[in-house]
Amino acid sequence: MPHLKIDFDLLKKICETPGAPGFEDPVREVVADALSGVADELRTDGMGNLIVRKKGGSRKVMAAAHLDEISLISTGVDKNGFIRFHTLGGFDAKSLLNQRVIVHGKQDLPGIIGGKAPHTQSDEEKKRTPKTTELFIDCGLSEQEVSAVVPVGTPITRSQVLSRIGNNLSCKSLDNRISVYILIEALKRATVTGVDFYAVFTVQEEVGLRGARVAAHAIQPEVGLALDVTLANDLPGADTHQKISILGEGTAIKVMDGSVICTPKLVAFTEALARERDIAHQRELLTAGGTDTAALQYLTGVGAQVTCISTPTRYLHTTVESCNVADVLSGIRLTQAFIEQIHTYFKD
């Protein structure tokens, strides 16, 4: 097998292309273009999920990696030209303050998320986290200039470029663009599969697993594999049991999260694949949060057997999410092995 390395230019394009929940069109086009000629079928469903199918057998298997990123949506423009907004996905307001954003109106506008200056805050205000309703976006323009191009309901994404930092990659929206990239590369490398394999790049995961629910209901897979990030709390001050996953120790195989308990037999199968191919891996047990794994399991109508290949990631839901290059490559190799070998799972 040729030596794997990161296609930095492709990953950069995937990470930096906007795709707010419900507004995933730009990033979906990037993914569709990257997979041109790779599969037997490539289509977009009514909700916006990109469905990529590789034929190979009668058993249906579905993989899911969500396209959307936590984002904002405009609720109005005040008399001074400042945009008010609502969140799309889970944010800690502290991570929003003083960040650069792009307002995707009739034309893109750069902006800055501002709040009350610390010099004018009361002692009580300094002690608490600001509410998102107290924050605003400053585009440096008048009310008339902003209102002309930013109607209510305009999506807003964070502005950050993909960077190499030591052995790591850092950017906004590695949740879940790193998994999108992993699934693309695995599909390119998987030479054959013995099942009817559906790779679905799902929409609106960050606001309730909505795209995966629709796709899983339509496809009715017997086995589901999600690809997402997981918390790497391998930081100063964290006890061993709080780390969840550790950067540099391999791709993570999910046992459970706050929304799902994975199928033990499928977890064991995936771990066995990793051992057979000498792929660095670790177990993931996250007691909070949820991923498309849950939608694959109990919203399929057949009760699919599920697990998830997770990429350990630090500083989740910030603009500096960070993952390790070696872990990403392990994720590509394990996902490729899963696509090629999942047909043997049904023979047990």
Q: Is 205 a catalytic residue?
A: yes
Beta pairing, strands 305-313 & 223-231 = parallel
The distance of Cα 122 from the centroid of its chain, to the nearest Å, equals 38
Q: Which of 21, 3, 16, 9 lies closest to 202 in space, CA to CA? A: 21
> From CA 150, how far away is CA 145, in angstroms rounded?
9
* Catalytic-labelled residue, pool 24, 205, 284, 340: 205
> Considering all CA atoms of the chain, what is the largest pairwise distance in Å, rounded to the nearest integer?
68
Match 């950050």 to its residue by tokens: 160
CA of 309: how far to CAs of 109, 224, 235, in Å?
A: 36, 11, 22
Q: What 3-state DSSP class applies to 309?
A: strand
Q: What is the DSSP letter of 159?
A: -
> From CA 327, how far away is CA 313, in angstroms rounded?
10
Active site residues: 205
